Each structure stands twice: as structure tokens, then as C-alpha cells.
Structure 1
Amino acid sequence: MGYRALADATMAVHFLFLAYVVTGGFLAWWRPWLRWPHLAAAGWGFATIVFGLTCPLTYVENWARLRAGEQGLSRGFIDTYLTGVVYPERYTLQLQILAALLVLTSWLIPLLKGRAPS
């Protein structure tokens, strides 16, 4: 039971992290101290896509699921829970581009308005 709860909690944190990667720059408009954690999160998200890195949260969830006697993740987090479930696989590239544009927009608008990150 404990490992299953850990796996489920890790999955929830992973979803929150993905949401933060995409929207955290907009949150930083409201709370400027969030800019630097968002920069780190967005950089990590970019690295996982470009360099094929596996997020530590995926490792933790997989480890906990296996310890709970469940089947581990056969693919990455996004491939398991989003691709083919929330959106068709053929739209993966378009959604990656959209996410990147949202992140860039969240950083560029304050810069263009003269409010550089502090």
C-alpha cells in the first residue's frame, strides 16, 4: 500500500511539474521570485526533450510501482499518461512547440515591457 501511494503521489507531482514548466513563467508575473525556479524547470523540460533525458520523477514512480507489485512504466511519463491518452501521438511535435511558445511568451513579454527578470 505504501509503495502504491508513493507511486501515485509521484505521478501527481509529475503532472504539477509539467504544468509548472508550461505556465510557471506566467506565475512569475504575479510572484517575481518564481522566475528562477521556473527557468530551472523549463531548462530541465527542454533538456528532457532535446537530449532524451529521463526525469528522476519517472524513476521514482517506476521504482515504487514495481515495489508495489504493479507493472512499471514501459515508456516515459508523458508517453504513458499523455500521448495517445490526452492527445493523439501525431500531435506530439505541435504540442511541444506550443509549450515552448508559451514558455517563451511568458518570459519575453516582461522583457519587452522593460521588466527584466531580477
Structure 2
Amino acid sequence: MLWRWLADAVLVVHLGFVLFALLGALAVWRWPSVAWLHLPALVWGAYVVLAGDICPLTPLEVHLRVAGGEAGYDISFIERYLLPLIYPDVVQGDAGRGLQQTLGMVLLGFNAAIYALWIRRRR
């Protein structure tokens, strides 16, 4: 049971990181110093999504699940948890990879627009 709780905790942290990478630029409007945390998170998140790499939190979660007697998986966090929520009818694999890259571009574009507006507003 402990392993499952730890795996779930890693999952929650991972989801929190994804949300921070996606929406952290909005927090910069209120707390400008958050940019020092958000920009590296954004760069890392965009790299992982666009390169098709796997975040180290994914293998950690899988390891904890397997240690707890659950089944593991061999795809990325985004393919496992987010794509089925966003695009439930899409088959994973190559189609999922294309959607993942699209999400990466949306991530960068959305945050670039928010930062551009923020910089413009501050001038």
C-alpha cells in the first residue's frame, strides 16, 4: 500500500509540474519573481514533449507501482494520463506522438504570448 501511495504522490507532483509549466506565466503577472522558476520548468517541459523524451518522474512512478505489485507502463506521462483525457478517441503510438508535439507547440506559444503581454504591460 505504501508503494502505491508513493506512486500516487509522484503522479500528483508530476501533474503539478505539468500545470506549472503550462500556466506558470500567468503567475508571473502577480509574482514576477516566479519567472525564475517558471522559465526553466517551461524549457524542460517543452523539451520533454517536443523531443519525445520521458521525464524522470515517469520511470520513478512506474518503479513504485511495480514495487507495489501493480502493472507498469512503457509510455510517457502525457501519453498515459493526459492524451486520453484530451483526445479520448485517438489511438496511442504515432498518433499520440503527433498530438504530443502539437501540445508542446501550444505550450510554448501560449506562454510566449503571456510573457509578451506581460513585458508590454510593464513598459
TM-score range, shorter chain: 0.7 to 0.9
User: Which whole-Å CA distance do the structure 1 matches of 2:44 and 2:104 have between them?
Assistant: 14
Determine if contact 2:50/2:104 at 8 Å carries over to the other structure: no
Query: Taking every aligned residue pair, what percent have the same amino acid on both sides?
Result: 31
Question: What residue ranges of structure 1 are gaps of 5+ in the alignment?
Answer: none
Structure 1 equivalent of residue 81 of structure 2: 81
Structure 2 distance, partners of 1:94, 1:74, is: 21
**Residue type matched to 1:75 in 2?**
I
RMSD across aligned C-alpha pairs, in angstroms? 1.9
Q: Which 5+ residue runs of structure 2 have no aligned equivalent? A: none
2: distance between equivalents of 1:39 and 1:77? 21
Aligned to 1:30: 30
Report deviation, 1:17. Answer: 0.8
Q: What TM-score does the superposition give when structure 1 sets the normalisation length?
A: 0.85
Q: CA offsets per residue over residues 25-55 of structure 1, 9 Å max, x none?
A: 1101111111011001000011112333211
1:2: how far off? 0.9
Distance 2:82 2:111 in 1: 19
Which of the residues 96, 104, 107 maps onto 1:96? 104
| Equivalent-residue separation in structure 1 for 2:2 and 2:70 (angstroms) | 13
- Runs of 4+ in structure 1 deviating by more than 4 angstroms, as ranges, are none
The structure in which a higher percent of residues are helix is 2
TM-score by length of 2: 0.82
Aligned partners of 1:47 and 1:107: how far apart in 2? 19
